[in-house]
Chain A
Amino acid sequence: MPSNRPSADEHLDMHRRMVITRCVEERLGVLHKQGKTRGPIHRCDGQEAVGVGATMALEARDVVTTTHRGHAVYIGKGLDPRRVIAEIFGRVTGYGGGRAGHMLVGSVEHGMIGGNAIVGGSIPAATGMALSFQIRREDRVALAVFGDGAAQTGICHESMNIAALWRLPVIFLLENNDYGLTVHRSEQSSVADYTVRAAGYGMPGEAVDGNDVLAVYGAVAAAAQRARRGDGPTLIEARTYRVEGFSTSDMGGYQDPKEVALWKARDPIVVSRTQLAESIDPARVERLETAAEEETAAAFEAALADPLPEFEPHGPSAPYATAPVHADAADFGEGR
């Protein structure tokens, strides 16, 4: 069971995963400008400490649900960057064989049970998994990562009430990046401090610096211990900032450049690097960063060389094959 403070090696590993995530995001930005991506890409630059710190505070058997902006969560939970990138580019080697795309990545063996692009959808999803663990008396925890936009949904309220009522082993991690698409949280929420809401459900609420990977790790590790003891859910608000806009199709104009600059100066990778320098030779950290950059570049190269999928009709056991087939369906080889 992880303690609330990671070992030096664990911190290094978190740092490495944050660097990989950043490299993925920056490269995606470049490839988007070259017209080589498909659909909008929701980058998490500047928010890596939340997804990575939170998932690395969990055990491998624990599960996480996340948002449409989940790359740091995917990498933090241990998914192979090459296969994540392959999914982002719709390749057969992706976790969904190119069927899911970057917002909806799922890898059940890693407990990454879903990116969810219906805002708020990750919240009841994790709550339901926690119910499953409670019914089966399994020592597992579910983590819901969701944004400040999702915090305004009805299912957020419903889920928190049920989770606290039944003391479900779930952690609600509110990744507050200040914006729900283009609208600032101050125009979406009646309160600035989301942790006060926790009291309304009779659960603990705690705010952490979302750009400090150690702080996120510590809060989630403590919440996981609580959940495992049978003491129910915790609300953690990780305060961070979305520095690269809503998606690659965002035309901007609503974020104050001064605010962006302020947060860029508080880059979670820089914060982590400074923390590491207290106990680890900076040259070692630099080598680790270089290796992470090279690993990511190789992952892109491999993923982009992988083939695109071919359309295949469902097998007879698939639930979709049960639809009343249409008269022209024979052309697609669909069975009855």
Chain B
Amino acid sequence: MAMMRYAEALNTALREAMAADETVFVFGEDIATYGGVFKVTQGLREAFGDRVRDTPISEQTLAAMAVSASMTGTRPVLEIMYADFMPLTLDALVNQASIYNYIWNEQVTMPFVLRTQGGGGVGTAAQHAKSLDAFVAHIPGLKVVAPVTPADARGLLLAAIRDPHPVIILEHKLLYNTRGDVPDQAEPVEIGRARVVRPGADISLFATSRMVLEAEKAADVLAGEGVSAEVIDLRSLRPLDLDAIARSIAKTNHAVVVNEGWGFCGFAAELSATIMDYAFDDLDAPVQRVAALDMPIPYAQPLEERVIPDVARIVAAARRALD
């Protein structure tokens, strides 16, 4: 085990994948010479030459190129600097990547990875702070993962690059400097498996990305009130680990779902409906949803803090479920 920052863990995975497979290449804005605005790709240009490319600011085309390059023998890893820019890539995802494996009768697979980062909390304002998880998790044919720990950042990125199908990696700007133990060996983490962060008996808190850290804090608060909360890091938004979800609810009979994206038609809504589909008989109370308020992310700190979900809202939701 080695202690590593989340950004370093991603960098390690990219190095490992590029060293092991010369068809892997990395491209995106400011990622080569500068090493990425979050420094995830630092040093790769020196190590791998023109397989690491700075690009023009052309997200629509870059995403479409990742799709088509992946159909002709390479494994592109595209960095989209902010999740807020992902809507520019949507044609490539929804009208291109999503369809070809099916409509061409499995003549092609598309092993590309789109890495991006979203989320608020540091005053990046309305065009650089959103979590648009639902935009991509909605699309059949894509896998969507959101690592929280450095170990999962490395393991899920390795798995994503090896996957024969498109994978979207949702990182979070507040996670890049977090630290954690990472295994010595390059081990992919299976896509589609949730992680039990802490076991509990009274209520399940299902969370994604940085909200897992908030849910852990909420579990501490609830423990002080005599409530044993189980925290589940979904890790994979699509596919969902239905077994882990059902197993947890069978034990706790109560559920809170937490996602940093907007609530209306959001990922938390899908998760909530999925729980109704699969675990309704085990529920003693309606599922409680915690999501961003349905409005632009404000700039000033006291405003932003009200819009993005936090410990207090998760605790309040848990109390409602248990009431």
User: Which residues of B have CB within 8 Å of A109?
Assistant: 107
B interface with A by C-beta (< 8 Å): 23, 25, 50-51, 53, 55-56, 58, 60-62, 64-74, 76, 91-92, 95-96, 99-108, 140-143, 165-166, 192, 238-240, 242-243, 270, 274, 277-278
Contact of A99 among B61, B92, B102 (CB under 8 A): B102
A53 at the interface (CB under 8 A from B): no
11 A-B residue pairs with Cβ-Cβ distance under 8 Å, sorted by A, are: A95-B107, A96-B104, A99-B103, A106-B103, A121-B64, A135-B69, A162-B65, A320-B101, A322-B239, A324-B270, A324-B274
User: Which residues of A have CB within 8 Å of B277?
Assistant: 326-327
Shortest C-beta distance, A331 to chain B (Å), equals 13
Cα A159 to Cα B76 with chains together (Å): 17
Q: Are B278 and A327 in contact (CB under 8 A)?
A: yes
Contact of A104 among B62, B103, B165, B239 (CB under 8 A): B103
Q: Are A124 and B95 in contact (CB under 8 A)?
A: no
Known: A108-B107, A136-B73, A324-B238. A128 touches B66 (CB 8 A): yes
Q: In this complex, what residue of A is CB-closest to B23?
A: A136
Q: Are A158 and B141 in contact (CB under 8 A)?
A: no
Shortest C-beta distance, B30 to chain A (Å), equals 15
A interface with B by C-beta (< 8 Å): 63, 65, 95-97, 99-100, 104, 106-109, 113-114, 116, 118, 121, 124-129, 131-133, 135-136, 138, 154-155, 158-159, 161-162, 165-166, 314, 318-320, 322-327, 336
Q: Are A128 and B95 in contact (CB under 8 A)?
A: no
User: Which residues of B have CB within 8 Å of A320?
Assistant: 101-102, 140-141
Cα A319 to Cα B166 with chains together (Å): 8
Q: Are B23 and A161 in contact (CB under 8 A)?
A: no
Shortest C-beta distance, A166 to chain B (Å), equals 8
Q: Are A324 and B61 in contact (CB under 8 A)?
A: no
Known: A106-B107, A121-B95, A161-B56. A128 touches B64 (CB 8 A): yes
User: Which residues of B have CB within 8 Å of A124?
Assistant: 60-61, 64-65, 68, 92
Shortest C-beta distance, B14 to chain A (Å), equals 15
User: Which residues of B have CB within 8 Å of A96?
Assistant: 103-105
Known: A128-B68, A320-B141. A158 touches B108 (CB 8 A): no
Q: Are B95 and A114 in contact (CB under 8 A)?
A: no
Cα A162 to Cα B69 with chains together (Å): 14
Cα A131 to Cα B278 with chains together (Å): 44
Q: In this complex, what residue of A is CB-closest to B71?
A: A113
Q: Are A133 and B72 in contact (CB under 8 A)?
A: yes
Known: A129-B68, A158-B56. A97 touches B105 (CB 8 A): yes
Q: Are B68 and A162 in contact (CB under 8 A)?
A: no
Known: A319-B165, A324-B270. A155 touches B74 (CB 8 A): no
Cα A155 to Cα B84 with chains together (Å): 19
Q: Are B25 and A135 in contact (CB under 8 A)?
A: yes
Cα A129 to Cα B108 with chains together (Å): 13
Cα A158 to Cα B96 with chains together (Å): 17
Q: Are A131 and B103 in contact (CB under 8 A)?
A: no
User: Which residues of A have CB within 8 Å of B66?
Assistant: 128
Cα A138 to Cα B73 with chains together (Å): 10
User: Which residues of A have CB within 8 Å of B92?
Assistant: 124
Shortest C-beta distance, B294 to chain A (Å), equals 23
Known: A158-B58, A318-B101. A121 touches B96 (CB 8 A): yes
Known: A125-B64, A136-B23, A136-B74. A162 touches B140 (CB 8 A): no
User: Which residues of B have CB within 8 Å of A155?
Assistant: 60-61, 64
User: Which residues of A have CB within 8 Å of B23?
Assistant: 135-136
Cα A127 to Cα B56 with chains together (Å): 14
User: Which residues of A have CB within 8 Å of B50?
Assistant: 135
Cα A97 to Cα B166 with chains together (Å): 22
Q: Are B239 and A108 in contact (CB under 8 A)?
A: no
Cα A127 to Cα B61 with chains together (Å): 9
Greatest chain A CB density within 10 A among B25, B51, B103, B239 is at B103
Q: Are A162 and B55 in contact (CB under 8 A)?
A: yes
User: Which residues of A have CB within 8 Å of B55?
Assistant: 162
Q: Are B71 and A319 in contact (CB under 8 A)?
A: no
Q: Besides the contacts A96-B104, A320-B141, what 9 more A-B pairs have beta carbons closer than 8 Å?
A: A95-B104, A97-B105, A108-B71, A114-B100, A129-B68, A131-B65, A162-B62, A323-B140, A336-B242
Q: Are B71 and A129 in contact (CB under 8 A)?
A: yes
Q: In this complex, what residue of A is CB-closest to B143?
A: A322
User: Which residues of A have CB within 8 Å of B91?
Assistant: 118, 121
Q: Are A322 and B71 in contact (CB under 8 A)?
A: no
Cα A31 to Cα B96 with chains together (Å): 30
Q: In this complex, what residue of B is CB-closest to A319?
A: B165
Known: A155-B61, A320-B102, A327-B277. A131 touches B242 (CB 8 A): no
Contact of B73 among A132, A158, A324, A325 (CB under 8 A): A132
User: Which residues of A have CB within 8 Å of B58?
Assistant: 158, 161-162
Q: In this complex, what residue of B is CB-closest to A154?
A: B60
Contact of B74 among A100, A132, A314, A324 (CB under 8 A): A132
Known: A124-B60, A336-B242. A322 touches B69 (CB 8 A): no
Q: Are B238 and A322 in contact (CB under 8 A)?
A: yes
Cα A319 to Cα B70 with chains together (Å): 15
Known: A97-B105, A165-B56. A132 touches B72 (CB 8 A): yes
Cα A336 to Cα B242 with chains together (Å): 8
Shortest C-beta distance, A103 to chain B (Å), equals 10
